[in-house]
Amino acid sequence: MLIGGQVGQAVVAAADGEVVYSGNGLIGYGELVIIKHSDRMLSAYAHNQQRLVAEGDRVRAGQPIAQMGLNEDNREVLHFEIRRDGKPEDPARYLPPKD
């Protein structure tokens, strides 16, 4: 899922968890943060300008974990993924409803 915003805008954790990846070694994701929420669920936040957390950090829902950047098309978007048991799920199911 791509979520629009502005460069430098805070990217926050969707739920409590542990940062299991914070880096730029996965091609196509830029500056990437992955949070493990349970044995079955992960969330990923890609194309950040700056990462604010390190591997092993414990984070709380709503805590800033990165600053939004540009994707490979120079668009101001956050690439947000949810994976359950290693398979992608629709992230909209886990986001609050729009006002």
For 51-65, the pLDDT digits (tens) are 999 999 999 999 999
Domains of the chain: 2-86 (2.70.70.10)
**What is the pTM assigned to this prediction?**
0.91
What's the whole-number mean pLDDT along residues 5-15?
Answer: 92
Burial of residue 52, with CB atoms counted within 10 A of its CB: 0-12 exposed, 13-18 middle, 19 or more buried? middle
Asked whether residue 97 carries a pLDDT value surpassing 80, the answer given is: no
Query: Half-sphere exposure of residue 34, counting CA atoms within 13 Å on the CB side?
Result: 17
| pLDDT at 23 (0 to 100) | 97
93: confidence class by pLDDT, cuts 50, 70, 90: confident
Q: Which amino acid is at 78?
A: L
For 34-91, the pLDDT digits (tens) are 999 999 999 999 999 999 999 999 999 999 999 999 988 898 999 999 999 999 998 8
| pLDDT at 99 (0 to 100) | 61
